[in-house]
Amino acid sequence: MSERTVCVIGLGLIGGSLLRAADVAGWKVRGMARSDAVVTAAREAGFDVTSSIEDALADDALVVLAVPLPAVVDVLPVLARHAPRCRLTDVVGVKQPVAAAVARLAPAVRYVGGHPMAGTSASGWAAGSATLFSGAPWVVGSDDGADPVVWAQVAQLALDCGAHVVPAGAADHDAAVARVSHLPHLLAAVLASVGADGAALAMSLAAGSFTDGTRVAASPPELVRAMCEGNREALLSAVDDALGRLGAARGSLASTGGLAATIQAGHVARRTFDTTRDAPRDNTVHVELRASDALAQLRDLGRQGARVVALEGTRCQIELTASPAR
């Protein structure tokens, strides 16, 4: 088994950055891209890159699926045919649909999902960078049944790329990103459209609150759609929450003229977020991945906002804030 060999399928912003970051960290790296232009560019940058999945899968590397969600179902049958027992992770922004596709199309691969929470407003190989994941959270799927050896390798790859690991089950992950990633993209699109309806005068008065609130609407729409539409159930729940709160604000403004509850709650939430993010993480615990309840422990810790900052074999070092947010 090649302990530190990675094969990245798809060399867009995330896959291309992963290839570079893992290379810098000393992994043996290999990549695959469909586009001849990307293959050429990556080769010119000194990487071992091919346009054939079969070639890319030639030895026993950790395979990283770095294609958009809609392409996952095209790649998995090829994997199942050529590397049916391979170790597999991915970087797709939703986890339940990928897990379901893997179970259906490549049931024997040893899959542990992943999701590095890094930017989407640029895209493509050329936009990639070895430092993209520096300081970013990287979710590693921790549902029951995950192979502890594969889990440790995926987590090590994330740590080696400069990220910290957030352990989470697929359903918890999808619910969380619906609220903090997919809903923000949807609200940014709505806000941009409402602003544009105010015509040229509104656009010439737009300042920080509008430019901040619509920034991610500049992201490639096909990537935003793939990520939001792929997380339908969880996003519906988050949208309903937002609609309920915005509707309540509307009702209060129309009836009493007041917005205190909405604005105060939002202010407290944002301040708590800032405080928690900047709080010292001085509470260290360890989880042994070979323990029978290791994955349950990891999921519980992830729900409390903990993160894995180091691995020694199958022993995770985990940091928590002293007073975790709710």
Footprint on residues 256-315 left by a second copy (CB under 8 A): 257-260, 262-267, 269-274, 276-277, 302-307
Cβ nearer to a second copy, comparing 1 with 180 = 180
User: Cβ(87)–Cβ(62) under 8 Å?
Assistant: yes
How many C-beta neighbours within 10 Å does residue 175 have?
A: 18
Of positions 58, 108, 243, 285, contacts a second copy by CB under 8 A: 243
Of positions 17, 50, 89, 219, contacts a second copy by CB under 8 A: 219
Q: Is 94 in the site for a second copy (CB under 8 A)?
A: no
Instruction: Name residues contacting a second copy, limited to 164-183 (CB under 8 A).
Output: 166, 168, 172-173, 175-181, 183
How many C-beta neighbours within 10 Å does residue 125 have?
A: 24
Residue spans of alpha helices (H) in 10-62: 13-24, 36-44, 53-56
Q: How far is the CB of 122 from a second copy (least distance, A)?
A: 12
Tell me the window of 40-48, 78-86, 124-132, 206-214 that interacts with a second copy (CB under 8 A).
206-214
Residue spans of alpha helices (H) in 65-146: 69-82, 96-105
Spatial strand order in the sheet of 164-168: 114-116, 137-141, 164-168, 307-312, 315-320, 283-288
Q: Is 139 in the site for a second copy (CB under 8 A)?
A: yes
Q: What are phi and psi of 287, to 5 degrees?
A: -130, 130
Q: What is the rounded distance in angstroms from the CA atom of residue 297 to the CA atom of residue 91?
A: 23
Of positions 36, 44, 46, 199, contacts a second copy by CB under 8 A: 199
User: Cβ(6)–Cβ(64) under 8 Å?
Assistant: yes
Q: What is the rounded distance in angstroms from the CA atom of residue 137 to the CA atom of residue 90?
A: 15
Cβ nearer to a second copy, comparing 270 with 290 = 270
Q: Is 124 in the site for a second copy (CB under 8 A)?
A: no
**98 CB burial (10 A radius; 0-12, 13-18, 19+):** buried
Q: How far is the CB of 315 from a second copy (least distance, A)?
A: 21
Q: Is 213 in the site for a second copy (CB under 8 A)?
A: yes
Q: How far is the CB of 62 from a second copy (least distance, A)?
A: 23
Q: Is 324 in the site for a second copy (CB under 8 A)?
A: yes
| Token pair 């992201």 in the structure block, residue | 219
User: Cβ(326)–Cβ(276) under 8 Å?
Assistant: no
Check the CA dihedral 44-45-47-53 and report its sign. negative
Query: Nearest CA to 166 among 320, 306, 280?
Result: 306
* Structure tokens that stand for 86 in this block: 């391979």
Q: How far is the CB of 57 from a second copy (least distance, A)?
A: 31
* Structure tokens that stand for 146 in this block: 């995950």
Instruction: Name residues contacting a second copy, limited to 6-65 (CB under 8 A).
Output: none
Cβ nearer to a second copy, comparing 214 with 297 = 214
User: Cβ(50)–Cβ(74) under 8 Å?
Assistant: no
Q: Is 100 in the site for a second copy (CB under 8 A)?
A: no
Cβ nearer to a second copy, comparing 66 with 83 = 66
- Residues in the interface with a second copy (CB under 8 A) total 103
Instruction: Name residues contacting a second copy, limited to 140-169 (CB under 8 A).
Output: 166, 168
Q: How far is the CB of 152 from a second copy (least distance, A)?
A: 21
Tell me the window of 72-80, 125-133, 151-159, 217-225 that interacts with a second copy (CB under 8 A).
217-225
Q: Is 322 in the site for a second copy (CB under 8 A)?
A: no
Radius of gyration of the chain (CA): 21
Q: How far is the CB of 79 from a second copy (least distance, A)?
A: 26
Cβ nearer to a second copy, comparing 12 with 302 = 302
